[in-house]
Structure 1
Amino acid sequence: MNVEAYIKSFAADVTIKQVFRNNETKPIEAVYCFPIEEQAAIYSFIARIDVREIIAQLKEKQEAQREYSDAIRQGHGAYLLEQDEKSQDNFIINVGTLLPGKECHIHISYVSELNLVQNGSSIQFVVPTTIAPRYNPEKGGISSPA
């Protein structure tokens, strides 16, 4: 994972670059959950395999899920980025039909407002790196993320 951030005043423009590799002997669907600041807004999602680059389009959730499922069923490569319904600060990437030995490069860009700390004398920039278990009173305890 590689993180690049441009910080100006009280805002951060962040790009996260990640690589998924299929080390299996058959095609897989890679599913990856990642945390993001709750107040952040994703504005770009790009997936690249070999020389093919896919730039995401914003769609209604049901339409995007249907198109993703249809593409997977037909054996095509497909990508889906969606916000976790259980937690607004987690996102899920689905990389479908990743062929054996292939790598998928994912670039996600977002903007986020920075917090004031130390009595307003400094700003704080945080890149979440783990998804912590969440307390769920309906289930009577702590549930695993995503």
Structure 2
Amino acid sequence: MLKVVSSAWRDSKDRFVPLKNVFVQVNIHSFATEVCIKQVFINSEETLNLIEAVYCFPIEEQAAIYSFEANLDDGRKIQAQIKEKKTAQREYFKVLKQEHEAFLLEQDEKSNDIFTISVGSLKPQSKCKIEIHYVQELESINDGQRAQFVLPTTIAS
């Protein structure tokens, strides 16, 4: 679920943008893995207001995200760019003020294995597909005879 953190109107109840679909593809090569997670969210809000939704997801601390994109209903594909954190946040909020779709992927400052995605200006009744690609070294077990891959049980929260 994407949690709605702000909109043009406020109420005291938590509101969520439901996760409609999850697809995970894992390719294992010796003691390394490449993971692709695709998630589809639909903003089923009845209001005409745009919302900003935020969700957190865990990945292994040794993992490295190398691609993040958002696919919108109108066919646009937004590819992430790596930027200094303050610059990225400034640009994200600037785009939000213009009421355009904006996306921000951030690593949690307190925990290296938690990432937060902010989806801004998500229109009512619109669909957003998030795609994340990352690589990680697998844990060696059984004196190096086997490798272990763990997919987080919480894909989004």
TM-score of the two chains, using structure 2 as the length reference = 0.80
Deviations 1:31-76 (A, max 9, x none): 0100001000000001010201001111000000000000111111
Q: Report if aligned partners of 1:80, 1:94 keep a CA contact under 8 Å in 2.
A: yes
Aligned-pair CA distance for 1:12: 0.2
Identity %: 60
Q: CA deviation at 1:130?
A: 3.0
Structure 2 SS opposite 1:68: helix
Partner of 1:27: 50
Instruction: State the partner residue of 1:79.
Output: 103
| Structure 1 position 5 matched with structure 2 position 26 | yes
Which aligned pairs between 1:1-146 and structure 2 lie closer than 5 A?
A: 1-24=22-45, 25=47, 26-50=49-73, 51-130=75-154
For structure 1, which runs of at least 5 residues remain unmatched after alignment? 132-144
Deviates more, 1:57-66 or 1:20-29: 20-29
Q: Secondary structure at the match of 1:4?
A: strand
Unaligned runs of 5+ in 2: 1-21
SS at structure 2 position matched to 1:91 = strand
How many residues were matched structurally?
Answer: 132
What RMSD over aligned residues (CA atoms) do the two structures have, in Å?
1.4
Q: Which amino acid aligns with 1:14?
A: V
